[in-house]
Amino acid sequence: GQQLNQSPQSMFIQEGEDVSMNCTSSSIFNTWLWYKQDPGEGPVLLIALYKAGELTSNGRLTAQFGITRKDSFLNISASIPSDVGIYFCAGGGTDSWGKLQFGAGTQVVVTP
């Protein structure tokens, strides 16, 4: 399948700092999504993007669908302890309805 490159792999930040992570692909996607996974649980959808150039916010989270349709980024502002977890990007391609390709994830650790 298509390869998504997600970076950074992990990040250790202090409470109150902003966080930024991104995903790039060698192929075009029609949809970019960002999920968060808490320990021992399944991924939960944070933001879905459906249009190139789209910038969408959900509380302290902001995500953008890149103009080239090959990349996306997620920002978290003013991080808090409950932001700890693994964040996954996912791309929905043109080859099959509902089929998602996931990045390897970004582990976020927030210290007080």
Partner 1 sequence: EAQVTQNPRYLITVTGKKLTVTCSQNMNHEYMSWYRQDPGLGLRQIYYSMNVEVTDKGDVPEGYKVSRKEKRNFPLILESPSPNQTSLYFCASSHKDTPSYEQYFGPGTRLTVT
* Residue ranges that bind partner 1, judged by CB under 8 A: 1, 4, 6, 31, 33, 35, 40-45, 48, 50, 88, 90, 92, 96-100, 102-105
Q: Which of 19/90 has CB closer to partner 1?
A: 90
Closest distance between partner 1 and the C-beta of residue 60, in Å?
Answer: 21
Nearest alpha-carbon partner for 104 in 1, 27, 4: 4
Closest distance between partner 1 and the C-beta of residue 98, in Å?
Answer: 4
Cα–Cα distance for residue pair 87/34, rounded to 1 Å: 7
Q: Which of 66/105 has CB closer to partner 1?
A: 105
Asked whether the beta carbons of 103 and 4 are under 8 A apart, the reply is: yes
Tokens of 34: 């960002």
b or e along 39-61 (b: 16 or more beta carbons within 10 Å of the residue's beta carbon)? Answer: eeeebeebbbbeebebebeeeeb
Q: Which of 66/103 has CB closer to partner 1?
A: 103
Closest distance between partner 1 and the C-beta of residue 97, in Å?
Answer: 6
